[in-house]
Amino acid sequence: MKYLVHICRLLVGGLFIFSGLIKLNDPLGFSYKLQEYFSSEVLNLPSLDPYALGISVFVVVLEVVLGVFLLIGYKRKFTIWMLLGMIVFFTFLTFYAAYFEVVKDCGCFGDFLPLKPWESFTKDLILLILILVLVAGIKHIKPIFGKFPTTILALLGFVGSLWFGYHVLMHLPTWDFRAYAVGKNIAEGMAIPEDAQKAEQEYTWTFNVGGENVDFVTDGSYPTVDGEYVSVETKILVEAYDPPVKDFSIETDDEDFTTKFLAEDHLIMVVAYNLEKANEQGLKNIKKVTDKAIEKGYTVIGLSSSGDEDKQYAKEKYGFDFDFYLCDEKALKTVVRSNPGILKLEKGTVMQKEHFNDAEEIDLPEVERKPEPVVIVSTAYFVNEEEVTKEEVEAIDPETIESMNVIKEGSELEILNSMTSSNYTELIKITLKEE
């Protein structure tokens, strides 16, 4: 029993430290996962949303500290019963998420090792068994050092965990396991290879045949059955390839600029998933850096999920000399764990990424300024709904004009270009006074 307890002690302590450090490396990301658990679709505890970050830091620091306490043998009764309480709660949570299929990834190991719900539940069940062994053999758990060194090590574990959590919150995660890490290409992360795995599903069709329900299994095709259709159930046998970059876009209400900007040679991207919640001093820091970037020839854009009014307000309040485009909030939270944050990209590859506290560390060597595009204006003229030439318009007596409308964008100009196979950039419509 003694040796079994020692093995369980090493396994449980090591796993708790490893799991805790992975999440402590990205407490903001773990708080987003907690908010997912707090949502109405899962535990229906939206009132806890504002406290998600605090709960996140508390849980992961406790996880690391308990792992350290167990390994060094500090306060064994407190440590064992706290471990048991935590694992019982986590086992319930992962079972709930798996059984009701409400969470796709438990977040146990952050982005380092995403686990499916049933995998998370199995892991917690094994840990529960190991901790129960520790409960049964608690008398065999003794400090590995004297009382004073053990206390010092316990204190160092606690203080070190708090410091590390604070450090990554004030800067960025030390290790970035996401698809937007430095060196990753966003465009490539969005692409689905031609030979990518396609989803394989099994369909179970139920028909009433001769007064009895009979099941027919197909790969999706509707079965030819002499009976009345009752229902169909689907089961995924093999999941389709899931690209690492999801829901990322750079767009306006009318147009998608994702491909255009990800092809830029020198792009500075400001990310603020919510401008209303963005750190004010952080936005001021960003302003200094973007002004410098524009001066040195970089293309600068902003990305936010906020509405047009919030974007315009932020632009006017902080004097940003660039435009904000639309992107999904969840995607932006994944891009950078900072609101706001700033990235430097070259042809879609992330070259540098910084927290707003470190925005001025963005390396901005002078680059060749892109020439301004030459816009050739081509105008269509209409007088009383009839197309005329420019010379005919110039010959009109201004006194006879009732109204003149200049259209430079919109569906009317697009329809005209489509119908006439032209490329007009503006449309001038003149209405004359009735004689």
Q: Using CA atoms, how far apart are residues 294 and 132, in angstroms rounded to an integer?
A: 61
What is the model's pLDDT at position 73? 93
Segment 311-350, tens digit of pLDDT: 999 999 999 999 999 999 999 999 999 999 999 999 999 9
Segment 8-33, tens digit of pLDDT: 999 999 999 999 999 999 999 999 98
Amino acid at 399: E
What is the model's pLDDT at position 283? 96
Percent of all residues in the chain with a pLDDT value above 90, rounded to a whole number: 62
DSSP conformation class of 306? S
What is the model's pLDDT at position 416? 84
Q: Cα dihedral angle (186, 191, 195, 199), rounded to 10 degrees?
A: 110
**Token pair listed for 106:** 């438990």
Q: What is the mean pLDDT of residues 278-300?
A: 96
> Coil, strand or helix: which one is 82?
helix
Instruction: Give the number of other CB atoms < 10 A from CB of residue 153.
Output: 19
Segment 103-138, tens digit of pLDDT: 777 667 767 778 888 888 999 999 999 999 999 988
What is the model's pLDDT at position 298? 95
DSSP conformation class of 280? H
> Coil, strand or helix: which one is 380?
strand
Could you give the C-alpha distances from 311 to 281, 308, 329, 377, 399, in angstroms and in order?
17, 5, 14, 30, 43
Segment 237-278, tens digit of pLDDT: 888 888 999 899 999 987 899 999 999 999 999 999 999 999
What is the model's pLDDT at position 374? 61
Among 4, 22, 17, 20, residue whose Cα is nearest residue 131:
4
**Token pair listed for 391:** 């010379």
Kindly tell me if the per-residue pLDDT of 154 is higher than 90: yes
Segment 355-388, tens digit of pLDDT: 999 999 999 999 987 766 666 678 999 998 888 8
Segment 83-107, tens digit of pLDDT: 999 999 989 888 888 888 777 776 6
Task: Put residue 426 in one of left, alpha, beta given phi > 0 → left and psi -120 to 50 → alpha.
Answer: beta
Q: In what order do the strands lie in the sheet with 349-355?
A: 324-326, 299-304, 267-271, 341-346, 349-355
Q: Cα dihedral angle (239, 244, 246, 252), rounded to 10 degrees?
A: -150
> Coil, strand or helix: which one is 174?
coil
- In DSSP terms, 185 is beta-bridged to 349
Q: Could you tell me the pTM of the whole model?
A: 0.77
Q: Using CA atoms, how far apart are residues 416 and 129, in angstroms rounded to an integer?
A: 73
Position with higher pLDDT, 430 vs 434: 430
**Token pair listed for 217:** 């299994």
Cis amide bond preceding 340, omega within 30: yes
Q: How many CA atoms lie within 13 A of 262 on its CB side?
A: 19
Among 269, 415, 274, 290, residue whose Cα is nearest residue 345:
269
Q: Where are the alpha helices (DSSP H) in 44-178?
A: 52-72, 76-99, 117-136, 147-170
Kindly tell me if the per-residue pLDDT of 51 is higher than 90: yes
Q: What is the mean pLDDT of residues 170-195?
A: 93
Amino acid at 203: Y
What is the model's pLDDT at position 373? 61
Mean of the per-residue pLDDT values for the chain? 90
Percent of all residues in the chain with a pLDDT value above 70, rounded to a whole number: 97
Q: Using CA atoms, how far apart are residues 408 and 377, in angstroms rounded to an integer?
A: 10
Number of residues that this document lists for the chain: 435
Segment 202-249, tens digit of pLDDT: 999 999 998 899 999 998 889 988 889 999 999 888 888 889 998 999
What is the model's pLDDT at position 78? 94
What is the model's pLDDT at position 168? 96
Among 291, 299, 289, residue whose Cα is nearest residue 340:
289
Position with higher pLDDT, 280 vs 416: 280
